[in-house]
Amino acid sequence: MSKKILTAIKSFSNKPLRFLVNTHYHGDHSGGNENMTKAGATIIAHDNVKKRLEAKQRDGSFNPKEALPVITFNDKLNITINDETIAVFHVANAHTDGDALLYFTKSNVLHTGDTYFNGRYPYIDINSGGTVNGYIEAVKRGLMVIDEDTQIIPGHGKLSNKEDYKRFLKMLEALRTNIQKEIDEGKTEDEVKANTSLTKTYDDLGFGTGFINSEKIRLTFYKSLREE
């Protein structure tokens, strides 16, 4: 995607590319890092993004230096550029252990990274430090900084707004309530996996038609909430 992104950036500015923020380490959100560094960008990300990108990769290889963040942060940082301040803030153990949201204070735009899948069940990467409760807290944090006019760029799905984002939160909380109840009643993983009534309301609204279907989301909630 990096060539396409660079072309899109050039269509509204000929100024050099200076900064790139990774919202988390997953390849579909950081795979262009090397190309972006070569195009002049300084990469910024949460500490854990750097840790994960500089570790040995699944195929046994290591990422080149150009693919790694140069500036990292633990909690939050502000970037003042193009006459506006961009607030970059970490949300703990949400989609992964290194998520950041970006709020463009003047443009009134929020980029959520993968802490928001518009109209779909989200992927919560439990093996990379993601948790259901952290994910829900991340959405609440995002909602706190925005207003009715904010344009929201989700990690996946169409451009969004506060109303859709609130509906997404309601879905997450409903699933948490339903599946926590099953856990409290001693239900097994297979029972929760098979029980479509737990997600039916949102299945019917099409939330299970993306990368994560209704069975996968019930399993994710079960596994994560059982640990928390």
Question: Could you list the residues that contact Zn ion (CB under 5 A)?
Answer: 26, 114
Shortest Cβ 10–Zn ion spacing (Å):
26
d(CA 99, CA 82): 24
Closest to Zn ion by CB, 95 vs 176, is 95
* Token pair for 172: 């997450």
Between 92 and 183, CB nearer to Zn ion: 92
Q: How far is the CB of 47 from Zn ion (least distance, A)?
A: 17
Tokens of 45: 């990300």
CB of 114 to Zn ion, least distance (A): 4
Cα 52–Cα 207–Cα 137 angle in degrees, nearest 5: 50
Say how far residue 201 (Cα) sits from the centre of its chain: 24
CB of 225 to Zn ion, least distance (A): 20
> By C-beta, is 26 or 46 nearer to Zn ion?
26
Residue 13, Cβ density class (10 Å: 0-12 exposed, 13-18 middle, ≥19 buried):
exposed
Residue 20 to residue 36: CA distance in whole angstroms: 8
Distance of closest approach, residue 127 Cβ to Zn ion, in angstroms: 12
Q: In terms of CB distance, is 115 or 214 closer to Zn ion?
A: 115
Q: Which is nearer to Zn ion, 118 or 178 (CB)?
A: 118
Q: What is the DSSP string of 26-80?
A: -HHHHTTHHHHHHTTPEEEEEHHHHHHHHSPPTTS----GGGS-SEEESSEEEEE
Q: Position of tokens 């299945």? A: 203
CB of 161 to Zn ion, least distance (A): 22
Residue 27 or 64 having the CB closest to Zn ion:
27
